[in-house]
Amino acid sequence: MEFEPVIGLEVHAELRTKSKMFCACEVVDSTTAAPNTTVCPVCSGMPGTLPVVNQKAVEFGIRVALALECEVQQTSIFARKNYFYPDLPKGYQISQYEQPLAINGKLIIRTSEGEQTIRLRRVHLEEDTGKLTHVERDGKSYSLVDLNRAGVPLLEIVSEPDLHSADAARAYGEALRDILRYLGVNSGDMEKGVIRFEANVSVRKKGIAGADGHPPLLGIRTEVKNLNSFRALERAIEYEIERQSKIIEAGRTVEQETLGWNEARGATYSQRSKEDAHDYRYFPEPDLPPLVVEQNWIDEIKSKLPELPRARYLRFIEDYGLTAYDAARLTEEKEVADYFESAVRGLPSTVQPKVAANWMLGDLFSLMNQASKTSEFFKNSEAWNRVRPEALAELVKIVSEGQINQTSAREVLNEMFESGRGAAEIIAARGLKQVSDESFIAELVSQALKENPNEAASFRSGKTGVVNFLFGQVMKKAAGRANPQVVRAELEKQLAQ
Ligand code: ADP
Ligand code: MG
Ligand code: ZN
């Protein structure tokens, strides 16, 4: 039997505002700050306190909604989602339910199969919970509660069930993260849990259409909670597709349930079944008025949206003649794309932008990668400052003029990165300028041939491959600084004599 997977994602993204969603407490990095240091009566749920909406969080929410081409609702309603858990001091989470901030958006993703439009159902504002840490001490178990994160603004973005593979789900997650970063509303630090996924997964038999031309019915879904990395998202979906397909193949039915993901075992596990699904008893938050946003505010936010990753990706291919792969890597992050465009502005018109892209994606990225030891080097602005785009452009220009060869250029870039000095200065100080002087090179070639008579003879007897050895000898004499084209030509000339 062939199955078609159907996936809908719910994404929670923390909004990087200064203060929390409903109080003035500072938003801190909850993975490093001392526990319970940014807590007040409002976010710790004291009786008698009242929430006040953070305007910046609303602005950030609208910014995301517009970037995702949603309809922003002029009036949305905060609602209480009631449940008991130790990380939720009020006993309810303020969220939005029946009237969310925005609806009906779309996100275009790219996979190996090309581009695909994923419809978005809704975008709404809510608040994060606190964090629990479970510890063992003296043979007893404790749960430690940290409320620094309680009340941090969260945006929930819900897709329609338009995704059909783990791969597509990952592409969706990454595209969304890139947009959130471009908009400056979220750091994208996955390992800090600032973006979390919930995957709704079902499978259906392939090729079965619904009645009367309706789209085929959806299978029964499971929902995998708390996926904190792209890898976990991908693996959990693959696992569920496989598990559900086997159940249906065996003639049984999938049970609708909420699942957790065990990273170590690489398997999902049941958290609760449909029967004990929560009844959250949603009702409009009585302590907050309806959230009304004026059209001119929406228009103003819209007018300030930056160019988004996909538009920039298409423009980079079109304007700079980059490959799709290079354009994708260079536009993943705004800072990287900005850097590239600054470098290109510093190049003479005779040099292809592609050359600057190669230097960035090759040597520069690998230097930054080594220096930062994490894949997050993109965001390390200190590293980006060591070689400014103008300085990279200067180096690329010098190489294109044949002043130094590729090998020397690598060394120069290394030193630029270490010392922050400019290419011209380093080249002068180290005497790296490439030598093209023909009589000087002719002298080196002649010496090398004299010193290696056997190799010269075997070349003349037809073993032409030995020329590479002789080339190496000449370059060694020139300490790598001789112009390789001139050396090759001179070698061929003298060997032919
Ligand atoms: P809930 O809030 O209970 O999780 P929703 O109806 O809001 O339920 O759906 C949440 C997510 O589940 C959405 O992303 C939606 O696209 C997805 N979804 C709904 N039904 C299915 C299904 N049968 N298969 C896969 N995904 C589904
Ligand atoms: Mg859900
Ligand atoms: Zn507070």
Q: List, for residues 75-105, the tens digit of each pLDDT value.
A: 999 999 999 999 999 999 999 999 999 999 9
Radius of gyration of the chain (CA): 30
- In the predicted model, is pLDDT for residue 9 greater than 90? yes
Q: Assign 379 a pLDDT band (cuts: 50, 70, 90).
A: low
Determine whether 152 is exposed, middle or buried from the number of CB atoms within 10 Å of its CB (0-12, 13-18, 19+). Answer: buried
| Mean pLDDT for all residues in the chain | 92
Q: Quick one: angle between helices 389-400 and 423-430, nearest 10? A: 50
CA 31/CA 242 separation, integer angstroms? 34
CA 351/CA 338 separation, integer angstroms? 19
Nearest alpha carbon to residue 194 among 15, 9, 10: 15
Q: Is the CB of 338 under 6 A from ligand 1?
A: no
CA 474/CA 466 separation, integer angstroms? 13
Q: List, for residues 296-313, the tens digit of each pLDDT value.
A: 999 999 999 999 999 999
Ligand sitting nearest the alpha carbon of 280: 1
Ligand sitting nearest the alpha carbon of 218: 1
Q: Is the CB of 160 under 6 A from ligand 1?
A: yes
Question: What pLDDT sits at residue 373?
Answer: 63
Question: What pLDDT sits at residue 153?
Answer: 98
Q: Is the CB of 194 under 6 A from ligand 1?
A: no
Q: Assign 378 a pLDDT band (cuts: 50, 70, 90).
A: low
CA 321/CA 319 separation, integer angstroms? 6
Residue type, 488: R
Question: What pLDDT sits at residue 477?
Answer: 85
Compare 279 and 240 and report the one with higher pLDDT. 240
Q: Is the CB of 61 under 6 A from ligand 1?
A: no
Which among 158, 159, 256, 280 is the best mutation to test ligand 1's pocket, defined by most ligand atoms within 8 Å of the CB? 158
Q: List, for residues 405-460, the tens digit of each pLDDT value.
A: 888 899 999 999 998 889 988 988 887 777 777 888 899 999 999 999 999 999 98
Q: Do 31 and 151 form a contact (C-beta atoms < 8 A)?
A: no
Bridge partners for 92 per DSSP: 82
Ligand sitting nearest the alpha carbon of 38: 3
CATH 1.10.10.410 fits 438-496, yes or no: yes
Helix (H, G, I), strand (E, B) or coil at 311: helix
Question: What pLDDT sits at residue 209?
Answer: 67
Question: What pLDDT sits at residue 377?
Answer: 58
Question: What pLDDT sits at residue 156?
Answer: 98
Q: Is the CB of 308 under 6 A from ligand 1?
A: no
Q: Assign 374 a pLDDT band (cuts: 50, 70, 90).
A: low
φ, ψ for residue 19 (rounded to 5)?
A: -115, 170
Q: Do 42 and 214 form a contact (C-beta atoms < 8 A)?
A: no
Q: Ligand 1, residue 160: give the atom nearest the CA.
A: 16
CA 219–ligand 2 middle distance (angstroms): 16
Concatenated DSSP letters for 71-102?
Answer: EEPSEE-EEEEE---TT-TTSEEEEE-SS-SE
Compare 55 and 31 and report the one with higher pLDDT. 55
CA 189–ligand 3 middle distance (angstroms): 23
Q: Is the CB of 8 under 6 A from ligand 1?
A: yes
Q: List, for residues 130-158, the tens digit of each pLDDT value.
A: 999 999 999 999 999 999 999 999 999 99
Question: What pLDDT sits at residue 275?
Answer: 73
Q: Is the CB of 10 under 6 A from ligand 1?
A: yes
Angle at 432 between CA 429 and CA 435, to 5 degrees: 135
Question: What pLDDT sits at residue 448?
Answer: 93
Q: Whose CA is nearest to atom 8 of ligand 1?
A: 200
CA 186–ligand 2 middle distance (angstroms): 22
Q: Do 180 and 186 form a contact (C-beta atoms < 8 A)?
A: yes
User: Beta strand pairing status for 222-227 and 71-72?
Assistant: unpaired
Which among 165, 200, 279, 280 is the best mutation to test ligand 1's pocket, defined by most ligand atoms within 8 Å of the CB? 200
Q: Whose CA is nearest to atom 15 of ligand 1?
A: 8
User: Beta strand pairing status for 222-227 and 257-262?
Assistant: parallel
Q: Is the CB of 27 under 6 A from ligand 1?
A: no
Q: Is the CB of 100 under 6 A from ligand 1?
A: no
Helix (H, G, I), strand (E, B) or coil at 316: helix
Q: Is the CB of 202 under 6 A from ligand 1?
A: yes
Q: Is the CB of 130 under 6 A from ligand 1?
A: no
CA 167–ligand 1 middle distance (angstroms): 19
- In the predicted model, is pLDDT for residue 280 greater than 90? yes
- Which alpha helices (DSSP H) does 321-405 contain, by range? 324-331, 334-345, 353-359, 365-372, 381-386, 389-400
Question: What pLDDT sits at residue 343?
Answer: 96
Ligand sitting nearest the alpha carbon of 21: 3
Q: Is the CB of 4 under 6 A from ligand 1?
A: no
CA 220/CA 6 separation, integer angstroms? 10
Q: Is the CB of 224 under 6 A from ligand 1?
A: no
CA 134–ligand 1 middle distance (angstroms): 31
Nearest alpha carbon to residue 155 among 221, 224, 59, 223: 59
Q: Is the CB of 87 under 6 A from ligand 1?
A: no
HSE-up of 420 (CA within 13 Å, CB side)?
5
Q: Whose CA is nearest to atom 11 of ligand 1?
A: 8
- In the predicted model, is pLDDT for residue 17 greater than 60? yes
- In the predicted model, is pLDDT for residue 273 greater than 90? no
CA 121–ligand 1 middle distance (angstroms): 10
b/e map 370-389, b = 16+ CB within 10 Å: eeeeeeebbbeeebbebbbb
> The whole model's pTM is what?
0.86
Helix (H, G, I), strand (E, B) or coil at 134: strand
Q: Ligand 1, residue 162: give the atom nearest the CA.
A: 16
Calculate mean pLDDT across residues 17-34.
96
CA 126–ligand 3 middle distance (angstroms): 15
Q: Assign 183 a pLDDT band (cuts: 50, 70, 90).
A: very high
- In the predicted model, is pLDDT for residue 277 greater than 80? no
- For the chain, the domains span 3-301, 309-430, 438-496
Residue type, 178: D
